[in-house]
């Protein structure tokens, strides 16, 4: 990691402001139909979306339950292998008849979100929405989109605010681009 450097792309302030805006949008959309007997399940894709989800969901003013799932798509490195697998964390029977909000870090090729949506729908969820911190539309390999998007970015590999490269830089408070020094 010593030969790599991180250049800031999104500041803490930019992230804070945008996360608050998305939380307001989600609150608005949920409050039109939700009541206390029907909490939304936020399905958080760990580890990448943990910080985003924690900041976001604390500001959503609607009843929410948390579920965390782990999905593998990368081994070490920066390229998706195109075949994401759910590697644990969640029991699928929880979703039957429920409203689900998937929270992920980056919508990149689209394989991960598309797989998760499919699994959640097949588990009997009555409504599936998705929220991503970052969208890289130029990278899309399958037709996929998110209902709530923090920032649209170019085809760059980013770390920080939950995102890692081989487990490094996840706890940076901002999002930055990794490159060779
Ligand atoms: P997709 O299946 O859409 O190609 O990939 C989505 C997953 O790839 C994200 O959940 C994220 O874990 C990872 N990913 C995509 N782009 C980046 C990036 O720039 N930085 C990091 N750290 N992970 C990324
Ligand atoms: Mg991820």
What confidence tier does 84 reach under pLDDT thresholds 50, 70, 90?
Answer: confident
Lookup result for tokens 């039109």: 32
How much is the pLDDT for 1?
A: 57
Q: Is 115 touching ligand 1 by the criterion CB < 6 Å?
A: no
Residue tagged active-site, from 55, 104, 105, 108: 108
Contacts of 166 (CB under 8 A, 6+ apart): 1, 76, 77
- DSSP code, position 165: B
Q: Is 135 touching ligand 1 by the criterion CB < 6 Å?
A: no
How much is the pLDDT for 38?
A: 85
Measure the CA dihedral 57/62/63/64, to 10°.
-30
Q: Which atom of ligand 1 is nearest to the CA of 157?
A: 19
**Mind listing the pLDDT tens digit for each residue in 5-24?**
999 999 999 999 999 999 99
Q: Is 60 touching ligand 1 by the criterion CB < 6 Å?
A: no
How much is the pLDDT for 90?
A: 78
Res 73 pLDDT > 80: no
**Mind listing the pLDDT tens digit for each residue in 129-154?**
999 999 999 999 999 999 999 999 99
- DSSP code, position 138: G
3-state DSSP: the chain helix, strand, coil percent, rounded to 5? 25, 35, 40
Which residue minimizes the CA distance to atom 19 of ligand 1?
Answer: 157
Reply yes or no on whether 108 is catalytic: yes
Q: Is 145 touching ligand 1 by the criterion CB < 6 Å?
A: no
Instruction: Give residue 2 CA to ligand 2 midpoint distance, Å.
Output: 24
Which residue minimizes the CA distance to atom 5 of ligand 1?
Answer: 108
Res 76 pLDDT > 60: no
Which tokens go with 142? Answer: 């399958």
What confidence tier does 86 reach under pLDDT thresholds 50, 70, 90?
Answer: confident
**Mind listing the pLDDT tens digit for each residue in 88-124?**
777 888 999 999 999 999 999 999 999 999 999 999 9
How much is the pLDDT for 70?
A: 92
Name the 3-class secondary structure at 169.
Answer: coil
Res 41 pLDDT > 80: yes
What confidence tier does 164 reach under pLDDT thresholds 50, 70, 90?
Answer: very high
């Amino acid at each position: 990691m010593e030969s790599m450097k991180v250049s800031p792309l999104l500041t803490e302030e930019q992230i804070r402001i945008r996360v608050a805006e998305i939380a307001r949008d989600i609150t608005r959309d949920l409050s039109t139909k939700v009541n206390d007997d029907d909490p939304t399940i936020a399905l958080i894709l760990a580890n990448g979306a943990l910080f985003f989800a924690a900041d976001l969901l604390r500001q959503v003013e609607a009843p929410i339950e948390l579920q965390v799932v782990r999905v593998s798509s990368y081994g070490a490195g920066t390229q998706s292998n195109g075949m994401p697998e759910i590697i644990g964390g969640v029991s699928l029977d929880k979703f039957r008849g429920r409203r689900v909000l998937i929270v992920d870090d980056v919508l990149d090729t689209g394989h991960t979100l598309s797989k998760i949506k499919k699994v959640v729908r097949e588990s009997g969820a009555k409504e599936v929405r998705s929220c991503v911190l970052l969208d890289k539309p130029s990278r899309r390999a399958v037709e996929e989109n998110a209902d709530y998007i923090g920032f649209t970015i170019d085809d760059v590999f980013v770390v920080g605010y939950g995102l890692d490269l081989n487990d490094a830089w996840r706890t940076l408070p901002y999002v930055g681009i990794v490159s060779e020094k």
